[in-house]
Structure 1
Amino acid sequence: MIIENDAVDASSSTAFLSRMLQFGDSMFPIGAFAFSSSLESAIQEGVVTDAATLRAFARTALEQAARGDCIALIAAHRAATTSDIDTLARIDALVYARKLSEETRTMSVRMGKKFTEMGVEVVGGPLLCRWRECIETSVTPGCYPVALAISFAVQSLPASQAFVVHQYGVATTILGAALRLMKISHIETQKILYELTGQTGGMYEAAATARLSDMAGFAPLTEILAAVHTRAHVRLFMS
């Protein structure tokens, strides 16, 4: 009996891990490849010029996400476990309000809507269907961190895994864009990714103990770069 229970636990853990990998895959079809998270402007303006400045840029983006979107993500995961739509909508509004530039708002809501739509089709369930309806009827903007939290809660995947997927996505979006925008090798970007993912645990602990009122979305240089990108005549990415 113990062996059978161990086998069941191992099977469940394997399934959970596989789903985390699926929904966290950089090729998951939510349009992340179309965005650079202001890296395009950072390169054009000389803020990012090599591997060292790219590493610093990506680290800053991860820290900003951990202090902002990820606090909302963890709170939304808690609300989703009780199917509390009103609280989810309130959290979603807080995330949207902290997206100061048009491009960052567009990125979050487009990815959030696509993630919700994929969740309905792949996972199913009443909560995901209700959330999609709220987005389609403009009850809520449908930001990506909240969509991710709902999907993981519906699948009984923990908030910590949703956090990992979110932060991994932030890093890979920037590093993937770097490969198309600047002279840098896959080896260099993988080294940066390896270093940055090693900091995820500490970031999660800080975000998990924070309150929604602690969310901070303002990073002056990032906002300036987003504004510069909006006015650029030639650009490869949407943000």
Structure 2
Amino acid sequence: MNTDAVLTLTQWLSPGFPVGAFAYSHGLERVIDAGGITSVATLEPWLRDIIRHGCGRSDLVLLRVAYDAGDEEVARIDAQAQAFSASSGRLTETCDQGAAFSRTVDAVWDTRLGTLTYPVALGRAAKLRGLPQDLTAAMYLHAFTANLISAAVRLVPLGQTEGQDLLARLAPLITSIADATAESTPDDLTSACFAADIASMQHETQYSKVFRT
């Protein structure tokens, strides 16, 4: 494995990379506010479903399809990613993080990503920089999961050690879903996390909130 690729992806997907990931809870803030998540035991099944059946999987499909796409196909895939967003909050989440990611990568690595949704931008950037697709997918899903755990640690609240223990337990699932989405096509784009989608919609009108989504 190319060390430069690992270091580049670690930089792109670190909490310090300026995409503003800390400001998004993916609807978890609404679930926590309603009492649906009160501990690691109640957080874990939510995250497992999101990874296996929700945006965890669908984002990897979009990332992989964007990685394999020709230049003329990227805009169509990005439009599909926007249309697939289940709520205004989800659209904000993927568009704003993608735009911030693209701006920074374009400035530092001299790419020409333009403005893309987050998984499409990452897949495209990885392709342009010659980074391994499988590693990119696994590290993206790991960072996505870590960010949701970080949101729950702050909101529930949970202990930092509890959060890290949960992330370690989810690692095999993350690897499994990353492997399962290899060779994806646009026809594989699907989601079945309706409770999480509804929570995201409800968050848009929540009276008091810390997170943008």
2:101 to 109, 115, 135: 115
Q: Is the 8 A contact 2:67 2:123 kept in 1?
A: yes
Q: Tell me the CA shift for residue 196 of structure 1.
A: 0.9
2:195 to 201, 218, 221: 221
Does 2:51 align with 1:95? no
Does 2:58 align with 1:68? yes
Q: Tell me the CA shift for residue 67 of structure 1.
A: 3.1
Q: How far apart, in 1, do the equivalents of 2:118 and 2:195 lie?
A: 22
Following TM superposition, the consecutive aligned residue runs of length 4 or more in structure 1 with deviations greater than 4 angstroms are none
Q: Is the 8 A contact 1:39 1:178 kept in 2?
A: yes
Q: How far apart, in 2, do the equivalents of 1:202 and 1:228 lie?
A: 31
1:166 to 113, 125, 140: 140
Q: Tell me the CA shift for residue 215 of structure 1.
A: 0.5
Q: Is the 8 A contact 1:66 1:204 kept in 2?
A: no
Q: How far apart, in 2, do the equivalents of 1:13 and 1:145 lie?
A: 22
Q: Which residue of 1 aligns with 2:22?
A: 33
Does 2:9 align with 1:20? yes
Q: Which residue of 2 aligns with 1:85?
A: 71
For the residue of structure 1 that corresponds to 2:26, the secondary structure is coil
Q: How far apart, in 2, do the equivalents of 1:183 and 1:145 lie?
A: 29
Q: How far apart, in 2, do the equivalents of 1:183 and 1:116 lie?
A: 32
Deviations 1:66-115 (A, max 9, x none): 43121111111112xxxx22211111111111102000000000011111
Q: Tell me the CA shift for residue 182 of structure 1.
A: 1.1
Does 2:22 align with 1:49? no
Deviations 1:143-187 (A, max 9, x none): 100100111112111111221222112211111111210131111
User: Which segments of 5 or more consecutive residues in structure 1 lack a partner in the other structure?
Assistant: 1-11, 136-141
Q: Is the 8 A contact 2:141 2:178 kept in 1?
A: no
The amino acid across from 1:102 in the alignment is: S
Larger radius of gyration: 1
Q: Tell me the CA shift for residue 211 of structure 1.
A: 2.4
Q: Is the 8 A contact 1:178 1:184 kept in 2?
A: yes
Identity of paired residues, percent? 26
Q: How far apart, in 1, do the equivalents of 2:30 and 2:189 lie?
A: 25
Q: Tell me the CA shift for residue 237 of structure 1.
A: 0.2
Q: How far apart, in 1, do the equivalents of 2:91 and 2:37 lie?
A: 23
Per the normalisation by structure 2, the TM-score is 0.94
Does 2:178 align with 1:204? yes
Q: How far apart, in 2, do the equivalents of 1:88 and 1:218 lie?
A: 25
Q: Is the 8 A contact 1:62 1:170 kept in 2?
A: no
Query: Structure 1 residues 149, 58: closer, same or farther in 2, change over 3 A?
Result: same
Q: How far apart, in 2, do the equivalents of 1:237 and 1:66 lie?
A: 19
Q: Is the 8 A contact 1:35 1:237 kept in 2?
A: yes
The amino acid across from 1:19 in the alignment is: T
| Greater Cα offset, 47-56 or 105-114 | 47-56
Deviations 1:9-44 (A, max 9, x none): xxx822221112111112211010110111100101
Q: How far apart, in 2, do the equivalents of 1:227 and 1:90 lie?
A: 25
Q: How far apart, in 2, do the equivalents of 1:99 and 1:219 lie?
A: 12
Per the normalisation by structure 1, the TM-score is 0.84
Q: Tell me the CA shift for residue 50 of structure 1.
A: 0.8
The amino acid across from 2:58 in the alignment is: G
